[in-house]
Amino acid sequence: MRLHVLARRDVVCQQAVELVTDYLEGALPRAARRRFERHLAGCPHCTEYLAQIRATIAVAGRISPADLTAEMRADFIDLYRRWQRDDS
């Protein structure tokens, strides 16, 4: 609903923060993307806002996985063997 407004006018900050996800997901049409980037170029606050969302995503991506222990490995091999037995 905001897109038709954007087609005619420049993006203001309150609209810019709503466009961040579409921008990062590559879902903004080219013209809207250009308007968004033009806004960023002149607005340090929205630039920081975008950087914060990027930081949030980066931190989420670093939440570390747990490794498989030898015991768990044996359990899974067992699970697989049982499946093979039942399946054949």
Partner 1 sequence: MTPRYPTLQTADHDPDGPLLGRLRSGDEQAFVTLVQRYRPSMLRIASGYVPSQAVAEEVVQDAWVGFLRGLSRFEGRSSVRTWLFRILVNRARSAGVRERRTLAVSDLTVTVDSARFDATGHWLVPPEPWSDLVDDRIAAQRMAGLVRTAIADLPARQREVVTLRDIEGLSSEEVCGVLEITDANLRVLLHRGRSRVRQLLESEFGRA
> Are 68 and 44 contacting, i.e. CB atoms less than 8 angstroms apart?
no
Residue 14 in contact with partner 1, rule: CB under 8 A: yes
Least Å distance, CB 31 to partner 1, is: 18
Residue from 7, 31, 41, 79 touching partner 1 (CB under 8 A): that is 79
Residue 1 in contact with partner 1, rule: CB under 8 A: no
Q: Compose the 25-54 pattern: x for residues touching partner 1 by CB under 8 A, - for all others.
A: x-x---------------x-xx-xx-xxxx
Residue whose pair of structure tokens reads 């359990």 in the numeric block: 75
Q: Specify the 3-state DSSP secondary structure of 62.
A: coil
Residue whose pair of structure tokens reads 């093979």 in the numeric block: 84
Least Å distance, CB 85 to partner 1, is: 11
> Are 67 and 38 contacting, i.e. CB atoms less than 8 angstroms apart?
no
Residue 49: both structure tokens together:
């806002």
Residue 56 in contact with partner 1, rule: CB under 8 A: yes
